Amino acid sequence: MYNYRKMTPEQRQRVLDERKTQRRSWHAPPHLGKGSRVYMISAACFEHRPIMATAQRRTEFMEALLEGLQIEVNADIRAWVVGHNHYHLLIETDLPTFRGWIGRLHNGKATEWNRQDGTHGRKVWHRFSDRGIRSEAHYFSSLNYIHANPVKHGWVEKADLWLWSSLSKYLDEVGRTVLTEWWARYPVKDYGRGWDD
């Protein structure tokens, strides 16, 4: 998930240390192609209502999402963003396991939020979609899209100001220079048009 040869020795060591602790491949993104289990997951609130418009709600949802993905699904979380009315994930996972778990999380949060908002029976989630990652270019374009999503939707002017995203983790791990290179090499272009408008 990074260009190892272009990293400084310090950046390399930081990334290696983290990948070792997570029992992930030390030097390269997973090999993508036939049988790949890496997905771009997107889910939206019903009718794109801004049900997660408050910082507290986004924080609570993000924490539940990331904790559950790690503990209950045993997913390898590559990138994420949680917005006012939707979220995106880039993860390596067993899709049937994820599907069952995310349904329970959505149901639980819908019940909790409807209770808080006094809207018993309101439909909160539309559904989630999954797109299998097919190539290195698709992987990095998805990563860039996730990190640019808060700017695309006008929630912030600069992506690194959005707190509910993995961008700050990437800035710490690989640095702004590497992220800028990824952005130039794997542009977003029309990524998301028609399904994230």
User: DSSP string of 2-42?
Assistant: --GGGS-HHHHHHHHHHHHHTT--SSSPPPPSTT--EEEEE
Domain boundaries, the chain: 7-185
* pLDDT one-digit tens code per residue, 25-73: 444 454 444 445 999 999 999 999 999 999 999 999 999 999 999 999 9
Q: What is the pLDDT of residue 18?
A: 65
Residues of the chain with pLDDT under 50: 1-2, 23-28, 30-35
Q: What kind of fold does domain 7-185 have according to CATH?
A: Alpha-Beta Plaits (3.30.70)
* pLDDT one-digit tens code per residue, 16-28: 666 555 544 444 4
pTM above 0.75, yes or no: yes
Q: What is the pLDDT of residue 27?
A: 40
